[in-house]
Amino acid sequence: MTVQQVALSRRSFLASAGIAVAFSLTRPAIAQLAGGGEGGAGPAVVAPELLGSLKSWPFLDAWIQIDATGHATVFTGKAELGQGIKTALLQVAAEELDLKPSQVTMVTVDTERTPDEGLTAGSHSMQDSGTAVRNAAANVRMLLVQNAAAKLSVPADSLETLGDGNIKSPDGRVISYGEIAGTTSLHVKAVPNAPLRLTKDFRTMGVNLPRLDIPAKTTGGQAFIHDMRLPNMLHARVIRGPSEGTRLKLPPRAEIEAMPGLVKFVEKGSFHAVLAEKEWDAIRLMRKLQASPFELARSKFPTGTVQETLKALPARDIVILDVHKPTPDPVKIVSSKYSRPWISHGSIGPSCALALLDGDLLTIWTHSQGTFDVRRVAADLLSYPIEKIRAIHVEGSGCYGQNGADDVAAEAALIAMSVPGRPVRLQWMREQEFGWEPLGPGMITEVEAGLDNNNRIVSWKYEVWSNPHNNRPVNAGGVLVGSEVVPPFPVPEGKPIPMPEGDGSRNSNPLYDLPNMDVLYHFIKDMPIRVSALRSLGAHLNVFSIESMFDELAHVAGVDPLDMRLNHMADERARRVMLTASKAFGWQGRRKQGPLHGFGMAFARYKNIGAYCAVCLEVKVNQDTGRISVLRAQAAVDCGEPVSPNGIQNQVEGAIIQSLSWCTREAVQNTETLRTSFDWSEYPILRFLDIPEKVDVEVEQQPGQPFLGVAECGQGPTSAALANALADATGIRFRDMPMTPSKVRAAIVTL
pLDDT digits (tens, 9 = 90+) for 197-248: 999 999 999 999 999 999 999 998 999 999 999 999 999 999 999 999 999 9
Phi, psi of 736, rounded to the nearest 5 degrees: -115, 120
pLDDT attached to residue 399? 81
Quickly list DSSP for 121-152: -TT-IIIIIIHHHHHHHHHHHHHHHHHHHHHH
3-state secondary structure 548-609: HHHHHHHHHHCCCHHHHHHCCCCCHHHHHHHHHHHHHHCHHHCCCCCCCEEEEEEEEEHHHC
User: Does residue 22 have a pLDDT over 60?
Assistant: no
Mean pLDDT across 120-125 = 91
Of 67, 259, 314, nearest in space to 181 by CA: 67
User: Does residue 602 have a pLDDT over 60?
Assistant: yes
Domain 225-297+345-436 annotated CATH 3.40.50.12780:
no
pLDDT single digits (tens) 291-340: 999 998 888 999 999 999 999 999 999 999 999 999 999 999 999 999 99
User: Does residue 16 have a pLDDT over 80?
Assistant: no
pLDDT single digits (tens) 345-399: 999 999 999 999 999 999 999 999 999 999 999 999 999 999 999 999 999 987 8
Q: What percent of the chain shows pLDDT beyond 90?
A: 91
- Per-residue burial over 208-242, b if 16 or more Cβ lie within 10 Å, else e, is ebebbbeeebeeeeebbbbbeeeeebbbbbbbbbb
Given pLDDT bands bounded at 50, 70 and 90, which one contains residue 42? low
User: Does residue 39 have a pLDDT over 80?
Assistant: no
Q: Would the pTM of this model clear 0.95, i.e. be above it?
A: no
The mean pLDDT value of the chain amounts to: 93
- In this predicted structure, which of 88-97, 119-128, 143-152, 459-468 has the lowest mean pLDDT? 119-128
Mean pLDDT across 425-446 = 97
Best mean pLDDT range from 30-34, 37-41, 207-211? 207-211
pLDDT single digits (tens) 457-501: 999 999 999 999 999 999 999 999 999 999 999 999 999 999 999
Please, are residues 212 and 106 in contact by the beta-carbon 8 Å criterion? Answer: yes
**Largest distance between two CA atoms of the chain:** 86
CB within 8 A of 612, min separation 6: which ones?
A: 573, 574, 577, 603, 604, 605, 606, 637, 638, 639, 700, 708, 713
Phi, psi of 277, rounded to the nearest 5 degrees: -70, -35
pLDDT single digits (tens) 167-182: 999 999 999 999 999 8
Please, are residues 104 and 65 in contact by the beta-carbon 8 Å criterion? Answer: no
CB within 8 A of 734, min separation 6: which ones?
A: 723, 726, 727, 743, 744, 747
User: What is the C-alpha separation between 44 and 3, in angstroms, rounded?
Assistant: 19
- Fold: same for 225-297+345-436 and 443-469+504-748: yes
Give me the residue spans of the domains in the chain. 3-218, 225-297+345-436, 443-469+504-748
pLDDT attached to residue 750? 77
Of 406, 271, 306, 305, nearest in space to 347 by CA: 406
pLDDT attached to residue 299? 87
pLDDT attached to residue 41? 52
pLDDT single digits (tens) 725-746: 999 999 999 999 999 999 999 9
User: Does residue 32 have a pLDDT over 90?
Assistant: no
In three-state secondary structure terms, 630 is: strand
User: What is the C-alpha separation between 594 and 598, in angstroms, rounded?
Assistant: 9
User: Does residue 525 have a pLDDT over 80?
Assistant: yes
Q: What kind of fold does domain 443-469+504-748 have according to CATH?
A: Aldehyde Oxidoreductase; domain 4 (3.30.365)
Of 475, 470, 508, nearest in space to 490 by CA: 475
User: What is the C-alpha separation between 638 and 643, in angstroms, rounded?
Assistant: 12
Given pLDDT bands bounded at 50, 70 and 90, which one contains residue 26? very low
In a 10 Å sphere around its CB, with 0-12 CB exposed, 13-18 middle and 19+ buried, how is residue 629 labelled? middle
1.10.3720.10, 3.30.365.10, 3.40.50.620, 3.20.20.370: which CATH number matches 3-218?
A: 3.30.365.10
9 or 590, greater pLDDT: 590
DSSP H or E run through 333: strand 332-340
In three-state secondary structure terms, 275 is: strand
What are the respective helix, strand and coil percentages of the chain, to the nearest 5? 35, 20, 45
User: Does residue 15 have a pLDDT over 60?
Assistant: no
